Amino acid sequence: MSAAEVTAVPEGRGGRMNRAQIVNAALALGLLGFGLVAWAMGETFLVTLATKVAILAIAGAGLNLVLGFGGLVSFGHAAYFGLGGYSAGILAHHALNYTPMFEWPFLFEGTTSMPVIWITAMVIGALAAALIGALSLRTTGVYFIMITLAFGQMIFYFAISWPAYGGEDGLPIYVRNGFPGLNTLDPVQFFGLTCAVLFAVLGLIAMLAHSRFGLALQAARQNRQRLMAVGIRPGGVLLVAFVISGAITALAGALYADLNRFVSPSMLSWHLSGELLVFLILGGTGRLFAPLAGAGLYITLEHLLGGVSDHWQFFFGLLLLGVVLFARGGVIGFLAGGKRHG
């Protein structure tokens, strides 16, 4: 969804879908359909793969809010993803080992309830994003990229050197956490839950993009000077977007930890930050469904190329280089036409 699309849509009277909306619907149905068909055919592994796509798409959607709409190139979003993962891992660790997490001011024994874990993950992600964002947003451009990368790395090294929760070896979650009314151990039920979260997040971002806040956020990407001149401080708008973004990406991290039943510092690694950026450019920067299209394409390529060569990343690197240099609209730009921004 390009900027003009995002804000122009509500002016219309609805009814006919435009091409981008058709592509978006096809992407959503494609993910659901793939997961359900795989389940019907008993291909549990493929259901898990589709779940992974949905989770990475949520993480990418968080990044898309600041990058696609706000124009901030954050190269440290693995930090929030990993913090979300560790929130899930640590809460479950205490609950499963019967070791209270803290006893003061009240006894807290950890939890294996997904809703509680999700809220915790989002709060932690939001707090970290508020701190990192407040410092990083003092700068712009290439400084911002380097600083977000550096702070992400700081949390990565902290996780490695802090021995209490597994350090370098990571932390297992012996039993996938539960959600009221669902059997999360059943792959298709967990897949459905994940898709529900994904579509809720995409809906939230669409709503934000259309709101007063979204208008200011998209203006901050295009022209900060002009935003100041109409009486709106870009710093506050961008920081709020950064905090929401951190919370969303942390939520994805909590889900990812439950998918793998394992958390490790690799969730915090800068490669992951890079991959999240890659999803967005593969999908088509600034479009609402870019993270889903990009994550889907990435996982598909990993699966297909990875089957052919151990060195699939070599070929993926060449492909990515080609996309950046010659095909800047990404998948959705290719399918839906129209120009992208940024």
Report 115-134 residues binding another protein (CB under 8 A): none
What is the total count of residues that contact another protein (CB under 8 A)?
78
Ranges within 199-218 binding another protein (CB under 8 A): 207-208, 210-216, 218
Q: Check residue 160 for interaction with another protein (CB under 8 A).
A: yes
Tell me the per-residue interface mask from 26 to 65 with another protein, x by CB under 8 A, - otherwise: ----------------------------------------
Q: Check residue 145 for interaction with another protein (CB under 8 A).
A: yes
Contacts made by residues 282-285, CB under 8 angstroms, sequence distance 24+? 282/320, 282/323, 282/330, 282/331, 283/60, 283/330, 283/331, 283/332, 284/329, 284/330, 284/331, 284/332, 284/333, 284/334, 284/336, 284/340, 285/67, 285/68, 285/330, 285/340, 285/341, 285/342
Q: Which is nearer to another protein, 108 or 213 (CB)?
A: 213
Q: Which is nearer to another protein, 179 or 316 (CB)?
A: 316
Nearest to 128 by CA among 243, 49, 14: 243
Q: Check residue 112 for interaction with another protein (CB under 8 A).
A: no
Q: Check residue 67 for interaction with another protein (CB under 8 A).
A: yes
**Using CB under 8 A, which of 37, 174, 233, 304 touches another protein?**
233
CA distances (Å), 68 to each of 3, 81, 322, in order? Answer: 9, 18, 21
Stretch that binds another protein, among 53-61, 94-102, 183-191, 230-238 (CB under 8 A): 230-238
* CA–CA gap between residue 111 and residue 93 (Å, rounded): 8
Q: Check residue 2 for interaction with another protein (CB under 8 A).
A: yes
Stretch that binds another protein, among 1-9, 34-42, 115-123, 249-257 (CB under 8 A): 1-9
Tell me the per-residue interface mask from 268 to 297 with another protein, x by CB under 8 A, - otherwise: --x---x--xx--x---x------------
Write the DSSP string, 92-146. HHHHHHT--SB-SSS-B----BHHHHHHHHHHHHHHHHHHHHHHHTTS-HHHHHH
